[in-house]
Structure 1
Amino acid sequence: MRLLTLRLDLADHALHPMHAFVAADDRYGPTRLLQWNETGDGTNLMVFRVAGPREPYLDRIEAVDGVRSVSVASTAEGPISGGFFLFVEDEIGPIQRDIVDAHAAESVVVVPPVVFRTDRAATITFVGPTDDLSRIVDRLPPAVGVEVRRVTSGDAPLTRPVDRLTERQREALATAWAVGYYEEPRAATVADVADELDRAPGTVAEHLRKAESRLVAHAVGRG
């Protein structure tokens, strides 16, 4: 068993309108497809994590052909990692159908999240037998450019170290990075990070310590 991570570069006509919208607006970060379920009537039920403001996104998606319903599942507010979780029922387009069919015929599983990047590409990870993974690349449609980003053995972890951090820990790390806390020499203090987050310095320091501990443990083989 192996893990295969692909970068998919989609032709303009193959790009979903909401992916194009996010890529063109610097208020948004990558959109993550966290879970999905294909129904029997040609639609997907999906849960996304959208990194950016809610109202412009909702105004745009409600006008997209093929989107049958949209609702906000919950918010994830914060000055750096703010965003929201979105529940969407969307019709499966021909390119999306070709991508699904490329791996549906093989004995593989998609490992969430599927990441829709702001450079208009997407990254997707599969786990399965080597031969089945190889056939996926051959089956993808011509409108999809494919780059193999990573191939690892089956004993590799299915999640990245950052995926094991809590939302507050990731938010603290992102804010600390943005204000210069990790620059050399250091350009900000824990108090500066706390001011950005509007939280107590002690609380922010605890989030940073726990996040750093998990990441360092992974780096030295103890994660």
Structure 2
Amino acid sequence: MKRVRLTVHPGGLDLPAAFEAVTGAREPFAEVEVVNWNVGPPDAAFLLRVRGDLDRFEAALATDPAVEDRELVAIDSSEGYCFVAGVGSSDARALWEPFARGSLMTVPPAEWNGDGSYTFAVVGRDADIQAAVEAVPDVVRVEIESVGGERLAADSVVRRLTTRQREAVQRAIELGYYDSPREATATDVADALGCATSTAAAHLRKAEATLVCGLFDG
């Protein structure tokens, strides 16, 4: 089996209007990752993670005739998840269907790039990957970014926390420990966890160190 990360440049294909609005903007207004998807005729559904101008992104979806249903769940004012469902164009299917044949599996997340390209990882037999690359429309350029590597899928830094550290951070968020101004103390977090203040403070310090360092490793 081979693991390949590649970037697809669609050329002049007729792709969803929302994709073209986001990636074709002179000043990109949103960063989009496709967290998961289900593409099976006639419908297609996607779970997107969006960072940037959420109102403008939702407006782009609203004017896309291929989008039949959508729901945006904001995390904060500039980040959220978006569920999108609709019917894809024949060009879009011609582009993505080759990567769902044979032994191939596409590994999320997949990235929408500002230049109109699309980057993702695929796993499968060497012959199936080669066949998929050869099967895309002639106007499409496929660029191999890397082959193999130690990591198969995107790693979440949160998973590096121990169960108790995650619980401490979750309680701290709920209580307002990270609010500005701060609404809770380490003692409040300790009371919620049922432990000593020094223990809760240690959990928070170690979790914070892991999360911050995780943002910059590699």
TM-score by length of structure 2 reads 0.70
Paired residues, what number? 180
Tell me whether 1:126 sits opposite 2:112 in the alignment: no
Cα distance in 2 for residues equivalent to 1:125 and 1:19:
19
Structure 1 segments (4+ residues) deviating >4 Å: 197-200, 202-208, 212-216
Unaligned runs of 5+ in 1: 170-196
CA distance in 2, matches of 1:212, 1:159: 20
CA contact under 8 A between 1:49 and 1:86: conserved in structure 2?
yes
> Which digits, 9 at most, give the CA deviation of each residue in 1:188-214, with x for residues without a partner?
xxxxxxxxx9476x9997665213555
Distance in 2 between the 1:107 and 1:47 partners? 23
- The residue number in structure 1 matching 2:176 is none
Which SS does the other structure have where 2:71 is aligned?
Answer: strand
Q: Distance in 1 between matches of 2:181 and 2:140?
A: 44
Map residues 1-223 of structure 1 onto 2, 5 A cutoff: 1-23=1-23, 24=25, 26=27, 28-40=29-41, 42-72=42-72, 74-77=73-76, 82-152=78-148, 156-160=150-154, 163-166=155-158, 198=180, 209-214=209-214
Does the 8 A contact of 2:28 with 2:114 survive in 1? Answer: no
Q: Secondary structure at the match of 1:56?
A: helix
Let me know the Cα RMSD of the aligned residues: 3.0
Q: Higher Cα Rg: structure 1 or 2?
A: 2
Deviation at 1:4, TM superposition (A): 0.9
The alignment's TM-score, normalised by the length of structure 1, stands at 0.69
User: Structure 2: which 5+ residue stretches go unaligned?
Assistant: 162-178, 187-200
Structure 1 residues 34-87: Cα deviation after superposition (integer angstroms, max 9, x where no partner): 1111345x1101111111122222122111111111111x22226xxx311111
Q: Identity of aligned pairs, percent?
A: 18
Deviates further, 45-54 or 12-21: 12-21
Q: Distance in 2 between matches of 1:132 and 1:102?
A: 9
Report if aligned partners of 2:29, 2:56 keep a CA contact under 8 Å in 1: no
